[in-house]
Amino acid sequence: MAKYILKRAILLIPTLFVVITLVFALMRLTPGTPATVILAQRGEAISEENIEIIEEELGLNDPIYVQYFDYVKGIVTGNWGNSYFTEKPVFQNILDVWEPSILITLFSITITVLIAIPLGILTAIHRNTALDFIASVMAMISMSIPVFCFGLIMSYLFGFKIKIFPTNSYFWIKEGNVLNSIRHILLPSIVLGLSHVGSMLRFTRSTMLDVLSQDYIRTAKAKGLPRRKIYYKHALKNTMSTVATLVVNSIVVMLGGSTITEKVFNINGMGTLALKALNDRDYQQEQAIVLLMAFIFLGVSLLMDVFYKLLDPRIEYE
Amino acid sequence: MKNKKRMKASVFIRKYWRLIFGGTIIGIIILCSIFAPLLTKCDPELVDTSIKKAMMSPEHPFGTDNLGRDIWARILYGSRNTLIIAIGAELLCTVAGAVLGLLCGYYKKVEKILMRFLDAFSTIPNLLLCMMMVSIFGAGIPNLIIALSIGGIPGTARMVRNQVLSIKEKEYVESEIAMGASDARIIFKHILPNCFSYLIVRFSNGLSGSVMSMTSLSFLGLGLDPTKASWGGIVNEAQDYMFARPHVLVAVTVAISLTVLGFSILGDGVRDLLDPKL
């Protein structure tokens, strides 16, 4: 087992390296320079000389390969650099705003899983019934309405017409009580969670149908096992191991798409930081956020592979 | 004889109702976008502050926005760039993915390098990648098409690659190789035609996601000039005045959702038609 994990982790290294290089290249390909934004912030004239001075300060005038080696060295040694604007370490900036993004993601995925997976399994077992029809219509609707439209409509209905949820911003846990913070992220989480229900429901249903059509299920039926046992013991196990991949993917998609949810609900989180850093050409900050998301993705997929290996020891990594 | 024909039609409708239903929705939307000038007399980009924030009226069915631009006209004209960009991006993504996938599947050496590169692309969350791409390529319709297509390329390429690998094992390809056929002949005569239905299914299934990404980006204010009408842009502006005039939000939501719904039903229909196994 340890050998498998090690092998899998070593295979990750080239990918990591390519990701790091890719992110660097993407940021440097972006036209514009952080210097103009810094000058505007300081209230100085945006002239060629001033831009030159600032770029010299930030080390952006070094040859590109020197910048690249500094960058790789920084990442490997854990010094990911400072933001050009706040002049604080990029990790500090991320830590300052990550709380709402992470909380919303966790709450949303819980809502999605609790609704989509049981419904998906039920609709697969009771195929072509009224329940199946209603659920598939709801799944279609959930997949068709963009999350920002849905979010704005919900905040109009439940924040403005019926004042159940606060729609203004977010309260940090350290500022007050935890319950207040949760109250503020409840509506965003419900919106984001419901908008992922459709795809997960459809996926769970089709996976379960796949499993139910396999030979060992037919054997189980033939030897007269009770239906309940076939569905909830034999079929469920195999369905869940496939659906788990989608759950993990959804977590990453939710975190990556947090820019939109945060804009809809005026929350200052990681997504907002990512958009701001990109617009300001704050290379170091943007690199850090994108890399962090990519690392989370890679780490989680490594965990998934290990989990699959534990479930099914026959799996070999190519 | 006549009875038999009618039976056939009803069987066809029952079997392919998705294709017909989705196709009708998309057809109507495309017609509306082509004949937009006939459906409204207003110019979507005309700023007229004397009529700003107007409520619904016969001249302005959905009222006007904060700059006095007619919302109905903006929704109608906004469908044009949404459709062009979504279809264009998905087309580019399918073609580029097919080419890369063919190369990866057919040439082992190319695969090693290219797949690493594509893997790296797929680790970055799609929305972030789209945002970065838009910043690189800048605003404008062709640029947005390129930027949006990139997120989907790794997935398409991997699918085509797997397809190519399984076709390469088939006896008829082996016999072609034994007869000394060129790579080009094998690729264009045998492998490509066998991937074709997969590619069409992939293309039609991807369209709804493409509309979604396109509107998300314009909602964030990225990608298109804000004076140009775009659905995401209307939502972005409607956020400011949604408590006073929520109907604008509802109207755009209906437009976006119908398009996404139409494309995803159409995609399912195309899949039913071309890929009976699924």
ipTM: 0.86
> For chain B, which domains are there?
2-274 (1.10.3720.10)
| pLDDT for the residue A148 | 93
Nearest CA distance, B152 vs chain A (angstrom): 14
Q: For A34-43, A105-114, B94-103, B211-220, which range has the lowest pLDDT when averaged over its residues?
A: A34-43
Mean pLDDT of A151-171: 83
Give A274's contacts in chain B (Cβ within 8 Å). Answer: 128, 131
Q: Which residue in A80, A114, A117, A77 sits closest to A205, CA to CA?
A: A117
pLDDT above 90: residue B262: yes
- The closest CB to that of B235, out of A148, A279, A298, belongs to A148
| pLDDT for the residue B1 | 46
pLDDT tens sequence across B28-82: 999 999 998 888 877 777 777 777 777 777 777 787 777 778 888 889 999 998 9
Nearest CA distance, A34 vs chain B (angstrom): 13
Mean pLDDT of A38-57: 78
Sign of CA dihedral B66, B70, B76, B77: negative
CATH H superfamily, domain A90-311: MetI-like (1.10.3720.10)
pLDDT tens sequence across B83-116: 999 999 999 999 999 999 998 888 888 888 888 8
Give B123's contacts in chain A (Cβ within 8 Å). Answer: 15, 19, 293-294, 297-298
pLDDT tens sequence across A205-251: 999 999 988 888 889 889 888 888 888 888 888 888 888 888 888 98
| pLDDT for the residue B177 | 84
pLDDT tens sequence across B113-130: 888 888 888 888 888 999
**B64 strand-pairing partners:** B70
- The closest CB to that of A253, out of B125, B132, B261, belongs to B125
- For residue B123, give the chain A residue with the closest CA: A294
Residue B64 in 3-state DSSP? strand
Q: Which residue in B82, B53, B68 sits closest to B219, CA to CA?
A: B82
pLDDT tens sequence across B141-198: 899 999 999 988 998 999 899 888 888 888 888 888 888 888 888 888 888 888 888 8
pLDDT above 60: residue B233: yes
pLDDT above 90: residue A88: no
Residue A89 in 3-state DSSP? strand
Give B138's contacts in chain A (Cβ within 8 Å). Answer: 31
Please state the domain extents for chain A: 2-77, 90-311
Query: Chain A to chain B, count of Cβ pairs less than 8 Å apart?
Result: 130
Mean pLDDT of A176-185: 82
Nearest CA distance, A27 vs chain B (angstrom): 8
CA distances from A291 to A27, A315, B81 (A): 12, 29, 32
- The closest CB to that of B216, out of A15, A146, A153, belongs to A146
Q: Residue B170 phi/psi, 5° resolution?
A: -65, 150
Q: Which residue has the tokens 């090690």?
A: A6
Please report, rounded to a whole number, the percentage of residues in chain A having pLDDT higher than 90.
Answer: 26
Q: For A305-314, B107-116, B124-133, B230-239, which range has the lowest pLDDT when averaged over its residues?
A: A305-314
Give A290's contacts in chain B (Cβ within 8 Å). Answer: 124, 128, 132
| pLDDT for the residue A317 | 55
